[in-house]
Structure 1
Amino acid sequence: MAREWVINGYNGYPGLVLQDCEPGTAGPGEVRLRIEAFALNWGDMDLMLDRYSFSFPKFPARIGMEATGIVDQVGPGVEGIIVGQRYCTLPYFYDNAGTSADFAVVDARYITPAPEGLSAVEAASVWMQYMTAFYPVIDISKAGPGTNILATAGTSTAGTAALQLGRMAGATMITTTRFAANEAYLRANGADHVIVTGDDTDIAAAIHAATDGVGAHLAFDPVGQGMIARYTPALAKGATIFFYGTLDGVFPQLPIVDMFQANATFHPYSLFNYVENPEALQRGLDFVYAALKAGQIAPQIDRVYPMDRYRAAWDYLSQPRESHGKVVVETGNAPG
Structure 2
Amino acid sequence: MQAWQVHENGEPGEVMRLAEVAPPTPGEGQVLLRVRAANINFPDALLCRGQYQVRPPLPFTPGVEICGETEDGRRVLANPALPHGGFAEYALADARALLPAPEALDDAEAAALHIGYQTGWFGLHRRARLQAGETLLVHAAAGGVGSAAVQLGKAAGATVIGVVGGPEKAAVARELGCDVVVDRHGEDVIAAVKEATGGRGADVIYDPVGGPAYAQSAKTVAFEGRIVVVGFASGTIPSPALNHALVKNYAILGLHWGLYNTKNPELVRHCHDQLTELAARGAIKPLVSERVKLAEAADAVQRVADGRTTGRVAVVPETSVAPENLDKGAAA
- Say whether the fold is shared (TM-score over 0.5): yes
Aligned to 1:26: 26
User: Displacement, 1:66?
Assistant: 1.1
Write out the 4+ residue segments of structure 1 that deviate beyond 6 Å after TM superposition: none
Is the CA contact (8 Å cut-off) linking 1:36 and 1:330 kept in structure 2?
yes
How do residues 1-336 of structure 1 correspond to structure 2 at under 5 angstroms?
2-13=1-12, 14-52=14-52, 54-72=53-71, 83-90=72-79, 94-198=81-185, 201-276=187-262, 277-318=264-305, 324-334=310-320
- Separation in structure 2 between the aligned mates of residue 85 and residue 67 of structure 1, nearest angstrom: 13
Conserved in 1, the CA contact under 8 Å of 2:169 and 2:310? Answer: no
Q: Is the 8 A contact 1:32 1:105 kept in 2?
A: yes
Match of 1:77 in 2: none
Q: 1:10 to 1:237 in 2, by over 3 A?
A: farther
SS at match of 2:298: helix
Q: Give the C-alpha shift of residue 238 in structure 1.
A: 3.1
CA contact (8 A) 1:173 1:193 kept: yes
* Identical aligned residues as a percent: 28
**Structure 1, residues 114-163: CA drift from partner, whole Å, max 9, x if none?**
22143333322221221121111123323223322111010012211111
Contact 1:38 1:67 in 2 (8 A): yes
Higher relative contact order (CA 8 A, sep 6+): 2
* Paired residues, number: 320
Cα RMSD over matched residues? 2.3
Q: Deviation string for 1:29-86 (max 9, x for gaps)?
A: 211101122111122222323433x2214211221221122212xxxxxxxxxx2222
Q: Distance in 2 between matches of 1:204 and 1:301?
A: 30
Q: In 2, distance between residues paired with 1:42 and 1:170?
A: 28
In structure 2, the residue matched to 1:80 is: none
Which secondary structure state, in structure 1, belongs to the residue aligned with residue 300 of structure 2? helix
Q: Which amino acid aligns with 1:28?
A: E
**TM-score, length of structure 2 as denominator length:** 0.87
Q: Which letter maps to 1:61? A: F
Which letter maps to 2:166? F
Secondary structure of the structure 1 residue equivalent to 2:70: strand
Using the TM superposition, give the Cα deviation of residue 320 of structure 1 relative to its aligned residue in structure 2, in angstroms: 5.9
- Aligned equivalents of 1:140, 1:251: Cα separation in 2: 20
Partner of 2:329: none
The worse-fitting range, judged by mean Cα deviation, of 312-321 and 245-254 is: 312-321
Q: State the Cα distance separating 1:228 from its structure 2 match.
A: 1.3
What is the TM-score with the length of structure 1 in the denominator? 0.86
Unaligned runs of 5+ in 1: 73-82
Greater shift, 29-38 or 205-214, is seen at 205-214
Alpha-carbon displacement from aligned partner over 1:189-232 (angstroms, at most 9, x marks no partner): 12111111137x43223222222222222221111212211231
Native 8 Å contact 2:33 2:90 kept in 1: yes
1:319 deviation in Å?
5.3
* Cα separation, 1, equivalents of 2:48 and 2:62: 8
Letter in 2 for 1:140: R
Relative to structure 1, the CA distance from residue 215 to residue 166 in structure 2 (aligned partners, 3 Å threshold; closer, same or farther) is same
Q: How far did 1:28 drift?
A: 2.5
User: Contact 1:166–1:190 (CA<8 Å) still a contact in 2?
Assistant: no
Aligned-partner SS, 1:62? coil
Amino acid in structure 2 at the alignment position of 1:64:
G
Q: Which amino acid aligns with 1:132?
A: T
